[in-house]
Structure 1
Amino acid sequence: MSDINHQTYHARLEQIQRIAQHHSLQITTITPIAYQELGPCPYNNFIYKHELSQPPSSTSFHPPNPYTTSPPDRTTTTYILRMSNPLAMGINPHASRIENELAAMSLARQGLESHRPGLGSLIPRIHTFCSKPTHPDDLPWTLMEYKSGVPLDEFFPSQWDSIKKSTIEQVADILAGLRNCPLPLGITYGGLALSSTDGRIISAEMTTTNGGPWPTYEALLKARLRHELHDADSSPIINGWRSNGNGIRDRLDSLIDKFPSLTFFRTLIPESSSTVT
């Protein structure tokens, strides 16, 4: 087990204090969520529950834009802060995870709400964010609505059949709503970002695969295979599948070059596939 996640713990707390000061938030309690000091790998995000001594003032956050909202009332004192970890495994360092998340959450909220009014409230509201910190070593972050609950896999197994049926129907509703997400014109395959000129949602590099956006789903899958080989290159054990002169790497490269003409790969490509983000 490693302390890789805890090495910057105090630096993150200092950043939280700067965020609180900038937005005039009177934080009384900071609670890490799903956090252990020792772990086998870096966390994707560092998540903190903030409890305030008083609700944010009307000037605490910037005026709402299409991707953020003001707190719903003047009584809410609990919020969630998510900080992106740049050391997370398998992450494209050139993609903006914060902007991708904001855009995806906005589209998901629209899709759910259009499918069934009120369903969009499942998506936490974003109150403010910073995708490009200027302070050295600060992490990108979002401050969002706190939602209580329990993980579905912990709740579901012990329930009566009638409750399980109702739960499955609710999950089906959510999936149907997500399939209705309205994609803006010009969005292709890959990630999402916010335009620096007018703030609209645009195509961008993918957060979990190097490169993008891509014009076709085939191109995305091919890039994903190359991404996995790149990870293998950095492994001292696998050594990019080049060890012992066994020709495995040459065959893998040839296989990817022939993609998607091979029959096997064509089974991975649906006739009508949705944009992947």
Structure 2
Amino acid sequence: MAITNVNHEGFQRRLDPIVFILYSYGLERPGTSVPPRSSASDTVILRLSNPPRGERGGFAASLPPAAQRKPSRVGAPCAWRPGRYPDVHDETGFGWTICEFMPGVNLDAQFSEMSLPEKLAVVEQVADILAGLQRTALPELLATGHLGGLTFDGSGQVVGGQTSILPPSPWENYVDMWLLRLRRQLHNAGQSSALKGWQEAAGVRAHIDSLINADTVGRLVQGVDATQRTLVHGDFTMNNMLFDTATKKDISGGIHIADEKLQAAVLSGRFGDLDGREAPFPDGRTTWDAAKAWDGALATRDAVRPSSIQSIRRVHKLMTLEDALYPSRLGSEVRIERLRQSPEKLAEAVKAAADRLMTLLDGIVSP
């Protein structure tokens, strides 16, 4: 088995058990398929990931309409094995997935350089993918009362399971899910050498502890329709998509909505027109038009979009709080070390993050 792009310590030790399993037991697993014959079919992608992800890839790609889409925009899973770590403590306990290789370059890097017509063409393709995910038929039991991940049971049937990055799950209800997400972020903040769990920021940790509870979260999600169930990709962004520069096809939306005016338009679905008005941000007209096209493409496909979700602003408030509890800039030790080269910049970044978090927490107390 030829190996390229080895970037993890112990990679070969993890690979050896996979080679043995493939030769000993073959590739038959629920949700797998033989890669299509093509010039690229001799190349496959091997992912060594955390335990629940092997089943996710097999499940998602095996269900219609994704499995029936031709030509496929999703690399077909050829083989996978669930993780058994920590029950099995060495490399044989790690999960893995082997899937079809799809040519292309990172869409995120390409999108900003595209002309508006090219961006709009990509938006239509991404909307097809998201609408296809949402139209995927789920087993009745999961479609009515399940919040969490999906997996296969011993007979190859789809059942509820743990999500890829948020154990423990599934959850009993929507409040429990959000409470765990917020507490998980607070736990992560405790691992940050800059945030230190917000213990050193005056009054911040006490304010957090007084509000991150079931009563507060229950009040925040009041009015949200938690009965809708659909298949969701937890990181549906352009960073996780490839763009084939030869065919101009997107493989696998992604519009940054940090600006308040654009954010309001996305949440409400009311974009209007920028004619006669100043663009709300640099290169704003192109971004606005792309976001408007994205919203329209989802509406045309009858897909769920922010403006069609009841009480979306309450959900958005929780998402904003989740991000503020563990801001990515102060969660990465690599980025923290860069800031430490100028101590005043690190102090300024921590203070700005604390001020933002306190403002959000105060908004919860006085909505």
TM-score bin, normalised by smaller chain: 0.5 to 0.7
TM-score (norm: length of structure 2): 0.50
Counterparts of 1:137 and 1:144, CA distance in 2: 20
Q: Provide the rounded CA distance (Å) in 1 between the counterparts of 2:183 and 2:223.
A: 16
How many equivalent pairs are there? 218
Match of residue 101 from structure 1:
57
- Superposition map of 1:34-183 within 5 A: 61-63=26-28, 65-73=29-37, 76-84=41-49, 96-107=52-63, 110-112=64-66, 117-118=69-70, 121-132=72-83, 136-138=90-92, 139-183=94-138
Aligned residue identity for 1:193: T
Closer/same/farther in 2, CA of residues 253 and 268 from structure 1, 3 Å limit = farther
8 A contact 1:217–1:273 mirrored in 2? no
1:189 Cα deviation (Å)?
1.0
Aligned-pair distance for 1:171?
1.7
Percent identical across equivalent pairs? 28
CA contact (8 A) 1:206 1:212 kept: yes
Name which structure has the greater RCO, CA cutoff 8 Å, separation 6+: 2
Q: Shift of the alpha carbon at 1:21?
A: 5.3
Verify: 1:222 aligned to 2:186, yes or no. no
Cα distance in 2 for partners of 1:157, 1:80 equals 27
**1:204 & 1:193 partners in 2: Cα distance?**
6
Instruction: Tell me the amino acid that sits aligned with residue 71 of structure 1.
Output: P
CA contact (8 A) 1:217 1:269 kept: no
Taking structure 1 as the reference length, the TM-score comes to 0.65
Specify every segment of 5 or more residues in structure 2 that has no aligned partner in the other structure, as ranges. 1-5, 235-367
Structure 1's unaligned 5+ residue stretches are: 25-58, 87-94
> Which is helix-richer, 1 or 2?
2
Identify, as 1 or 2, the structure richer in strand: 1
> 2:239 matched to which residue of 1?
none
Deviation at 1:144, TM superposition (A): 0.8
Contact 1:82 1:141 (C-alpha < 8 Å) held by counterparts: yes
User: Which residue in the other structure is 1:251 paired with?
Assistant: 207
> Are the aligned partners of 1:218 and 1:269 in contact in 2 as well (CA < 8 Å)?
no
Picking from 188, 203, 206, the partner of 2:163 is: 206
CA distance in 1, matches of 2:19, 2:185: 39
Cross-structure match for 2:15: 16
Describe the SS at the equivalent of 1:143: strand
Q: State the Cα distance separating 1:147 from its structure 2 match.
A: 0.6
